[in-house]
Amino acid sequence: MKALVHTGPLQLEYVDCPVPVPAAGEVLVRVKAVAICGSDVHGYTGTTGRRIPPVVMGHEASGVIEVTGADVAGWTPGSRVTFDSIVWCGVCRPCRQGRTNLCVTRQTFGVSTPAFRRDGAMAEYVAVPAPLLHLLPDAVPFDAGAMVEPAAVAMHAARISEIEPGDLVVVVGAGLIGNLAMQAARTLGAATVAIADIVPERLELARRLGADVVIDSSTDDPVAVLERAVGRRTADVVLEAVGVQGTIDLATALTRPGGRLTLIGNVQPRVEQDLQGIVSGELTIRGSAASAGEFPGCIERIADGRLRVAELISRVMPLAEGAAAFDMLHRGELGLMRIVLHPPD
Ligand SMILES: [Zn+2]
Ligand SMILES: [Zn+2]
């Protein structure tokens, strides 16, 4: 099969590789669409230590079951599927509590560290443990199917933030996850959703996708904009989807006393915190990682249109041109959200 192999810092090679052999309990998925995640672009620079070459990246994908390995029940060749990005065991304590994203032996597709290497979906085929699979209805095209994983990441963050009907929710960062988190918050009952960014094109997209209030924090005072628009200076829930000092400060400042701040982005490994504001305001601050159980709800919402993902796909390219796609994303071409790659038919 053809695969896009990460072979060194900023290097990708489109080469022939052996087709993976599904182990017992696994299926072989013929990949139809695979999206390039920001973490893949960050990882292929060689600075994160989580894409140690050689590795086939790709954890946001959809496809068709080609064959099932031994001991796989309930799945048949020809089924349209997507799958969890985290390979979890199902028997450890977090898994038994439903927190599969925290599985003690977890691996991520398309990630290699000193501890493990798990080839991902930037190839014609990928082997996937059957419990990770989710059926894609015909109403969800393969490209949208590759967006279920990032949608689930955003939905997870919104869900653990315990959004209550009538809440005002602010999302900081109108990138892909921010735009999905904004929509997820709406489907979980938020009455008003606002979103802040410094790139006007991203804010325009957010408005088209349903944001009630958009805040250009490079030119306007976010607190003043919020107060003008909805009569409040702070929100019940803030979802932070960038992860640098300035956006963490903004997110903290926009969280009301007693409110919830959920951190999704982690571009900078360490930031300073407004300790006094957090303590005196009794803020609840939590991290959010990947997803745990949100795939079915996201597939349903994408199918019925409550989660719009098509507008978040900037470009579709052949897998053979993957190196050029990564280069475009790495150079930060303006306005690019997700690029989806198609392996050869
Ligand atoms: Zn991702
Ligand atoms: Zn586990």
pLDDT tens-digit map of 39-76: 999 999 998 899 999 999 999 999 999 999 999 999 99
What value does the CA radius of gyration of the chain take, rounded to a whole number of Å? 20
pTM: 0.97
What number of CA atoms fall less than 13 Å from residue 113's CA on the CB side?
8
Measured CA to CA in angstroms, residue 4 lies from 109, 342, 343, 345 at distances of 14, 11, 9, 15
Cα of 232 from ligand 1 centre, angstroms: 33
Task: For residue 91, give the ligand nearest its CA.
Answer: 2
Residue environment code for 185-207, b if the CB has 16+ CB neighbours within 10 A, otherwise e: bbbbebebbbbbbbeeebbebbe
Q: Is the pLDDT of residue 166 over 90?
A: yes
Cα of 276 from ligand 1 centre, angstroms: 34
5 neighbors 17 (Cβ within 8 angstroms): yes
Q: Write the pLDDT tens digit of every residue in 221-255.
A: 999 999 999 999 999 999 999 999 999 999 999 99
Closest CA to 62 of 302, 265, 320: 302
- 265-271, long-range: CB < 8 A, 24+ apart: 265/173, 265/177, 265/240, 265/241, 267/242, 267/243, 268/243, 268/244, 271/243, 271/244, 271/245
State the pLDDT confidence band at 25, using cuts at 50, 70 and 90: very high
Cα of 106 from ligand 2 centre, angstroms: 7
Q: Is the pLDDT of residue 335 over 80?
A: no
Average pLDDT, the chain: 97
The pLDDT value given to residue 117: 95
The pLDDT value given to residue 333: 82
Q: Write the pLDDT tens digit of every residue in 73-105.
A: 999 999 999 999 999 999 999 999 999 999 999
- The mean pLDDT value for 264-274 works out to 95
Signed CA dihedral, 284, 288, 292, 297: sign only: positive
Q: Is the pLDDT of residue 324 over 80?
A: yes
Cα of 65 from ligand 2 centre, angstroms: 24
Task: For residue 180, give the ligand nearest its CA.
Answer: 1
Tell me which amino acid residue 106 is: R
Cα of 265 from ligand 2 centre, angstroms: 24
Q: Write the pLDDT tens digit of every residue in 292-302.
A: 999 999 999 99
The Cα–Cα gap between 111 and 116 comes to 8
- The mean pLDDT value for 19-23 works out to 97
The Cα–Cα gap between 252 and 333 comes to 29
Cα of 111 from ligand 2 centre, angstroms: 18
Residue environment code for 18-27, b if the CB has 16+ CB neighbours within 10 A, otherwise e: ebbebeeebb
Cα of 152 from ligand 1 centre, angstroms: 10
Q: Write the pLDDT tens digit of every residue in 112-162.
A: 999 999 999 999 999 999 999 999 999 999 999 999 999 999 999 999 999
The Cα–Cα gap between 178 and 343 comes to 28
Task: For residue 97, give the ligand nearest its CA.
Answer: 2
Q: What is the 3-state secondary structure (H, E, C) of the chain?
A: CEEEEEEECCEEEEEECCCCCCCCCEEEEEEEEEECCHHHHHHHCCCCCCECCCEECCCCEEEEEEEECCCCCCCCCCCEEEECCEECCCCCHHHHCCCHHHCCCCEECCEECCCCEECCCCECEEEEEHHHEEECCCCCCHHHHCCHHHHHHHHHHHHHCCCCCCCEEEEECCCHHHHHHHHHHHHCCCCEEEEEECCHHHHHHHHHCCCCEEEECCCCCHHHHHHHHHCCCCEEEEEECCCCHHHHHHHHHCEEEEEEEEECCCCCCCCCCCHHHHHHCCCEEEECCCCCCCHHHHHHHHHHCCCCCHHHEEEEEEHHHHHHHHHHHHCCCCCCCEEEEECCC
Task: For residue 102, give the ligand nearest its CA.
Answer: 2
% pLDDT > 90, the chain: 97
Cα of 112 from ligand 1 centre, angstroms: 14
Q: Is the pLDDT of residue 106 over 80?
A: yes
The Cα–Cα gap between 322 and 110 comes to 14
The pLDDT value given to residue 46: 93
- The mean pLDDT value for 22-30 works out to 98
